[in-house]
């Protein structure tokens, strides 16, 4: 059974009660929220996700708590907890929905050193994955959201998970974080995609979440081999340009964008080495999303032939 098959009231009851248990690719999550107002949008963001029964192993038991006492009325706050521990300071309550996503990402980066975790978006086409590692502001999430709306399978927009045993990528297929101008860009580019109401004045600016499509969510349990690494950079008016990147440079770029490379030590070094052996590295500059997608489609087709 999927989240989308529940009535709005059922979602809200689960969320404010025992929790909404969903499979999100490599991890099972139980989401609770005392801020019931996030239920309708959360339900739409996770509409294609499979519900788990009560007996399932849950990786992350997360909860958004609502403020009590005076704070209930005066500038109410939301507090994220994972299994009774709150790893960070509260945020204004209107940020409760993005906070759930940030919190889940925090859980993954804190508790997943059995994987190499990169700060990168990843998508796949015909069973081969494209990794987009990038610092904030490079247009990574926009490109990721655009590709995910044009036939590419979304693995993850923020955290790329690499299996240390075989080097394959695990999917998350969770909502995509869009910021500032990207929100409007994606709205126009893919009017059919569901975007949550933008939340203003977060530390990242204005943010909205985009729901992953059904195909990406349905395939989220299947790992994929990495094939391309492209370091994206959006520049106004730039021509679409894909420039091969030497292996050594690709290695350093990936290491720089890894969340736990320093924790994994030798294992991390070996995993990144294998990754740059398997995947071709590129620098990618663009300003037009349609051209960008056409280029990556061609890359994927050449591979298929």
Positions touching other proteins (CB under 8 A) are: 28, 54-59, 61, 83-89, 91, 98-99, 102, 105-106, 109-115, 202-204, 262-265, 267
Sheet holding 199-202, edge to edge: 176-179, 205-210, 199-202
Q: Are 154 and 118 in contact (CB under 8 A)?
A: no
Closest CB to other proteins among residues 254, 264: 264
Long-range contacts of 269-276, Cβ-Cβ distance < 8 Å, separation of 24 or more? 271/116, 271/162, 271/164, 271/167, 272/116, 274/167, 275/116, 275/162, 275/167, 275/226, 275/229, 276/229, 276/247, 276/250, 276/251
To the nearest whole angstrom, how small is the minimum distance from the Cβ of residue 83 to other proteins? 5
Closest CB to other proteins among residues 67, 213: 67
To the nearest whole angstrom, how small is the minimum distance from the Cβ of residue 165 to other proteins? 11
To the nearest whole angstrom, how small is the minimum distance from the Cβ of residue 203 to other proteins? 6
Closest CB to other proteins among residues 57, 73: 57
CA distance 173 to 153: 9
To the nearest whole angstrom, how small is the minimum distance from the Cβ of residue 261 to other proteins? 11
How far CA 211 is from CA of 27, 156, 177, in Å, comes to: 17, 12, 9
CB burial of residue 229 (10 Å; 0-12, 13-18, 19+): buried
Closest CB to other proteins among residues 87, 248: 87
Closest CB to other proteins among residues 143, 259: 259
CA distance 89 to 222: 35
To the nearest whole angstrom, how small is the minimum distance from the Cβ of residue 81 to other proteins? 11
CA distance 174 to 237: 31
Closest CB to other proteins among residues 163, 285: 163
To the nearest whole angstrom, how small is the minimum distance from the Cβ of residue 27 to other proteins? 8
């Amino acid at each position: 059974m999927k989240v989308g098959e529940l009535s709005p009231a059922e979602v809200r009851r689960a969320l404010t009660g025992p929790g909404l248990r969903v499979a999100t690719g490599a991890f099972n999550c139980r989401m609770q929220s005392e801020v019931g107002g996030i239920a309708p949008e959360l339900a739409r963001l996770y509409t294609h996700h499979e519900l788990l029964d009560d007996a399932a192993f849950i990786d992350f038991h997360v909860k958004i708590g609502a403020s009590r006492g005076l704070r209930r009325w005066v500038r109410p706050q939301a507090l994220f907890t994972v299994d009774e521990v709150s790893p960070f300071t509260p945020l204004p309550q209107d940020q409760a929905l993005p906070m759930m996503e940030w919190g889940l990402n925090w859980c993954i980066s804190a508790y997943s050193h059995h994987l190499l975790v990169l700060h990168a978006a990843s998508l796949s086409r015909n069973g081969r994955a494209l990794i987009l590692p990038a610092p904030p502001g490079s247009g990574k999430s926009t490109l990721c959201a655009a590709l995910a709306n044009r036939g590419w399978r979304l693995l993850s927009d923020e955290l790329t998970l690499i299996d240390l045993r075989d080097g394959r990528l695990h999917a998350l297929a969770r909502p995509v974080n869009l910021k500032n101008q990207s929100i409007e860009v994606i709205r126009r580019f893919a009017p059919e995609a569901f975007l949550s109401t933008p939340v203003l004045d977060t530390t990242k600016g204005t943010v909205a979440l985009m729901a992953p499509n059904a195909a990406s969510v349905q395939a989220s349990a299947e790992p994929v081999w990495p094939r391309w690494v492209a370091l994206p950079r959006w520049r106004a008016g730039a021509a679409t340009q894909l420039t091969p990147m030497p292996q050594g440079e690709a290695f350093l770029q990936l290491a720089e964008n890894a969340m736990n490379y320093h924790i994994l030590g030798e294992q991390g070094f070996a995993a990144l080495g294998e990754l740059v052996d398997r995947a071709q590295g590129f620098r990618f500059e663009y300003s037009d999303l349609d051209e960008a997608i056409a280029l990556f489609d061609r890359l994927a087709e050449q591979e298929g032939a």
